[in-house]
Amino acid sequence: MKYDFKQIEKKWQEKWEAAGAFHAQDFSEKPKFYALVEFPYPSGAGMHVGHIKAYIGLEVVSRKRRMEGYNVLFPIGFDAFGLPTENYAVKTGIHPRKVTDANIKKFTQQLQRVGFSLDWSRVIDTTDEAYYKWTQWIFLKMLDHGLVFRDKALVNYCPSCKVVLSNEDSQGGKCDICHSDVVQKSKDVWYLRITEYADKLLEGLEEVDYLPNVKQQQINWIGRSTGAFVDFSITDIEEKLTVYTTRPDTLFGVTFMVMAPEHPVIDAHRNQISNMEEIVAYRAECAKKTEFERTQLNKDKTGVRIQGLSAVNPVNGKEIPIYISDYVMMGYGTGAIMAVPAHDQRDYDFAKKFGIEIIEVIQGGDISKEAYTGDGEMINSGFLNGYTNKKDSIKEAIAQLEKMGKGKAGVQYKMKDWAFNRQRYWGEPIPVIHCDKCGIVGVPYEELPLRLPEMENFAPGTEGESPLAKIASFVNCTCPKCGGKARRETDTMPQWAGSSWYFLRYMDPHNDTCLADPKKLAYWSPVDWYNGGMEHVTRHMIYSRFWHRFLYDIGVVPTKEPYAKRTAQGLILGPDGDKMSKSKGNVVDPNDVVDEYGADVLRLYVLFMGDYEKAAPWSEKSVKGCKRFLERTVGLMDLVQGRGVTPALESSFHKTVKKVTSDIEEMKFNTAIAAMMALINEIYDAGTLTVDEMKTFASLLCPFAPHISEEIWEQCGEKDLLSLSAWPTFDEAKTIDDTIEIAVQVCGKLRATIQIPREADQSAVLAAAKADSKVQAALEGKTIVKEIYVPSKIVNIVAK
């Protein structure tokens, strides 16, 4: 038999398609299995091999599960709204719709050439109005439930892209898209109240099976901390200054307070402040710095004392100064802190610079050198003196504060509300109308989808306005409530919107009366296994978990959590060991590999190159090794004779079936393939195998290299598709050898290996070990002190 991969791969892809082999059945009698991979953004560059790696893991699992009798849903779609396409449209004048369609076509063709067992009847496209109708619907539901609000805020603004960016999109002070410097700008911003779901998102993690580091990253992202809100009175004014602290027990060590420069208390009491000019100047200085600069310059503390206002420590009545400094953020806690320089390094640095008193309240460090943040006995602390346990002292401090009416226990999160608008064309229009009389009014549900209007110039307006603002017919409308003249919102939703619920749409992709039929949602939910990149485990996963939990709360979806299990694949690095990127020119195109070696070789190599969860560099040489393996597999056909079992191979077959079966479930694809390679080497040594063994081998190989496996299956006389046939089984008893090899050590050093019957007892094994000539040589002239036998593993004889 010849290995003509081009002809074989085309043949089987057509047969699978004609048979609808991979279409999921709604409401089948079989157990369901929903495998989800992160749908791609269809960029103009097409897919690279990293995409293949991201999908191939669950592709193998899905193919195996189908053979095991599951009703498998393994869908794909396209997350097609987004800036790169729009930027391309601005540059070339080609409509994003056309660009998107062309890119989707290219991605589809690439995916199909690799032979993925995806259900192509359920493809979704987030830019399809039949899809984004429901994205808008969910937004309106959130608006109805008070989870949407609008606020003027300093936002991250990219002067080059002319868009407002979320904190997540502007990390490191650089725009995620064009990498130019981000500046601060005051804007009206739409927010989703994700912070209201912080505890639910945290609790939900307890019931899901995510990789431990994925869970940990989400916990850190949400950033829950417990502590207390403490009220400080301010001299001569009524208002109190409330701070948040995780260590209320250090209150006796408070020697000053710090507010964020923009704190509203300052403006409210400007008349009492004698150095307002100095404060205004400092504010101007801070505004010039981007958030990135603010956080980078964390060594050198700057600030200004507010002259005319001072605070009173609620536990000891001491009057203390108040400063403003940009090391305190308006966006976390209350925008003001109580400073405990003896036990917080930032406060310590500030106190040293401004010559403020430092009072030690926890023993154990040397506060002449640095702040002490460890544990120890409380001192100089009135009613808290003598406490040595942090938990107890905090508890006592809160109890006392509550008694005095000066404070209460509280919780804070690092996670912020989700800025949910972009001034861009290629996104879902936010379905909201501004009415002078009625305020913000949602577009009526029956008017959805609110379509993206046609236009020709996609360049954003100046000052970060959306291109949609230029279309009068879109902007001008009537208020659905009062019927008066009104203006339509012109901002669109961020890239993350469409991907926050796409996994639900796959369950019922063509429904036009609801986002998905509740019966189908009930059948398929939740996603059994979700695989994707580590870069998406915080933003995308937390956003989508938030949307899903909201939909659960309003009775739309049947489960609290969308994803039962989450894994992540490692990157494929370029042949040079660097991250693949267009600019470095080290990108490997899957089409090139398929052309030269075939889809089965590509699939096998991506799985074999290393631990699936770790990064590994591409190696063309090693690709050839996988090709050899498939050629040797084809070559087995020449050795086939007879039926039944080849005695010399029987145990090896059972062992390999066992190993491949369990390795796939653990995503240890590399060792599964290694086991099949080892088996094939054994078969060549034996020089013969039966048709039945050949078929078993093809079945095992099918999830990895399905085209050649189907071909072999057919050549063995089978009429039905191997992809829909049964997964091989093994007999545990036949994986156990009668004769086992035991290593014999003398004083911990390996001296010999002996063959013994499995059931041999300890004395027989030790006798055999001592009878070995090499062991005897090592024991020569020594007396045996101790003999250790670990059944079926090792003998160690200790001698002096």
Q: CB nearer to RNA: give 312 or 534.
A: 534
- d(Cα 701, Cα 725) in Å, to the nearest integer? 13
* Least separation in angstroms between CB 390 and RNA: 13
Report helix, strand and coil shares of the chain as percent, to nearest 5: 45, 20, 40
* Least separation in angstroms between CB 532 and RNA: 13
Is the separation of the CB atoms in 275 and 307 below 8 Å?
Answer: yes
By the rule CB under 7 A, 294 interacts with RNA: yes
Site string for RNA, 164-203 (x = CB under 7 A): ---xx--x--------------------------------
Is the separation of the CB atoms in 450 and 429 below 8 Å?
Answer: yes
Region binding RNA by CB under 7 A among candidate stretches 134-142, 239-247, 362-370, 716-724: 239-247
By the rule CB under 7 A, 681 interacts with RNA: yes
By the rule CB under 7 A, 637 interacts with RNA: no
Coil, helix or strand at residue 271 = helix
Enumerate residues 6+ apart whose C-beta is below 8 A from 49: 572, 580, 588, 589, 590, 593, 602, 606, 618
**Could you say which residues in the range 93-132 bind RNA, by CB under 7 A?**
none
By the rule CB under 7 A, 688 interacts with RNA: no
Q: CB nearer to RNA: give 220 or 388.
A: 220
By the rule CB under 7 A, 684 interacts with RNA: yes
* Least separation in angstroms between CB 305 and RNA: 17
For RNA, which residue of 280, 587, 677, 721 counts as binding (CB under 7 A)?
677
* Least separation in angstroms between CB 533 and RNA: 10
* Least separation in angstroms between CB 414 and RNA: 4
Q: CB nearer to RNA: give 666 or 761.
A: 666
The phi and psi torsions of 454 (rounded to 5 degrees) equal -70, 140
Q: CB nearer to RNA: give 26 or 176.
A: 176
Task: Return the sign of the alpha-carbon dihedral for residues 539, 585, 102, 112.
Answer: negative
> What is the C-alpha end-to-end distance of the chain, expressed in Å?
63
By the rule CB under 7 A, 332 interacts with RNA: yes
Task: Return the sign of the alpha-carbon dihedral for residues 691, 694, 698, 700.
Answer: positive
For RNA, which residue of 3, 149, 221, 354 counts as binding (CB under 7 A)?
221
**Could you say which residues in the range 606-625 bind RNA, by CB under 7 A?**
608-611, 614-617, 619, 621-622, 624-625
By the rule CB under 7 A, 788 interacts with RNA: yes
For RNA, which residue of 46, 84, 223, 480 counts as binding (CB under 7 A)?
223
**Parallel, antiparallel or unpaired: strands 485-488 and 529-532:** unpaired
Q: CB nearer to RNA: give 327 or 387.
A: 327
Is the separation of the CB atoms in 425 and 492 below 8 Å?
Answer: yes
**Could you say which residues in the range 706-765 bind RNA, by CB under 7 A?**
741, 743, 745, 747-750, 753
CA angle 543, 545, 546 (to 5 degrees): 65
Sheet holding 183-192: strands in order across?
Answer: 163-165, 148-158, 183-192, 418-419
Is the separation of the CB atoms in 746 and 779 below 8 Å?
Answer: yes
* Least separation in angstroms between CB 350 and RNA: 8
Site string for RNA, 471-510 (x = CB under 7 A): ----------------------------------------
Q: Using alpha carbons only, how large is the chain's radius of gyration in Å? A: 33
**Which residue in 719, 712, 681 sits closest to 696, CA to CA?**
712
Could you tell me how many residues of this chain bind RNA (CB under 7 A)? 84
For RNA, which residue of 52, 337, 435, 486 counts as binding (CB under 7 A)?
337
Q: CB nearer to RNA: give 221 or 383.
A: 221
By the rule CB under 7 A, 344 interacts with RNA: yes
For RNA, which residue of 538, 725, 735, 776 counts as binding (CB under 7 A)?
538
**Parallel, antiparallel or unpaired: strands 476-478 and 485-488:** antiparallel
**What is the phi-psi region of residue 688: left when phi exceeds 0, alpha when psi lies from -120 to 50, beta otherwise?**
beta
Q: CB nearer to RNA: give 436 or 596.
A: 596
* Least separation in angstroms between CB 593 and RNA: 15
**Parallel, antiparallel or unpaired: strands 616-617 and 572-573:** parallel
Tell me the longest C-alpha to C-alpha distance in the chain. Answer: 109
**Which residue in 212, 215, 138 sits closest to 537, CA to CA?**
215
* Least separation in angstroms between CB 377 and RNA: 20
Site string for RNA, 383-422 (x = CB under 7 A): -----------------------------x-x--------
Coil, helix or strand at residue 39 = coil
Q: CB nearer to RNA: give 90 or 609.
A: 609
For RNA, which residue of 50, 253, 314, 335 counts as binding (CB under 7 A)?
335
Enumerate residues 6+ apart whose C-beta is below 8 A from 468: 425, 429, 453, 455, 474, 475, 490, 491, 492
* Least separation in angstroms between CB 542 and RNA: 11
By the rule CB under 7 A, 662 interacts with RNA: no
Q: What is the DSSP letter of 167?
A: T
Chain centroid offset of residue 77 CA: 18
Q: CB nearer to RNA: give 332 or 383.
A: 332
For RNA, which residue of 21, 153, 686, 798 counts as binding (CB under 7 A)?
798
By the rule CB under 7 A, 786 interacts with RNA: yes
**What is the phi-psi region of residue 17: left when phi exceeds 0, alpha when psi lies from -120 to 50, beta otherwise?**
alpha
Site string for RNA, 569-608 (x = CB under 7 A): ---------------------------------------x
Is the separation of the CB atoms in 362 and 389 below 8 Å?
Answer: no
For RNA, which residue of 240, 346, 481, 565 counts as binding (CB under 7 A)?
346
**Parallel, antiparallel or unpaired: strands 616-617 and 485-488:** unpaired
* Least separation in angstroms between CB 248 and RNA: 8
**Which residue in 138, 29, 61, 44 sits closest to 565, CA to CA?**
61
Region binding RNA by CB under 7 A among candidate stretches 116-124, 309-317, 637-645, 772-780: 772-780
Site string for RNA, 241-280 (x = CB under 7 A): ---xxxx------------x--------------------
**Residue whose tokens read 């639900």:** 504
For RNA, which residue of 39, 197, 629, 653 counts as binding (CB under 7 A)?
629
Region binding RNA by CB under 7 A among candidate stretches 136-144, 220-228, 425-433, 722-730: 220-228
- d(Cα 644, Cα 639) in Å, to the nearest integer? 14
- d(Cα 139, Cα 443) in Å, to the nearest integer? 11
Burial class, 205, CB count within 10 angstroms (exposed 0-12 / middle 13-18 / buried 19+): middle
Burial 718-744 (b: 16+ CB within 10 A, else e): eeebbbebebbebeeebbeeeebebeb
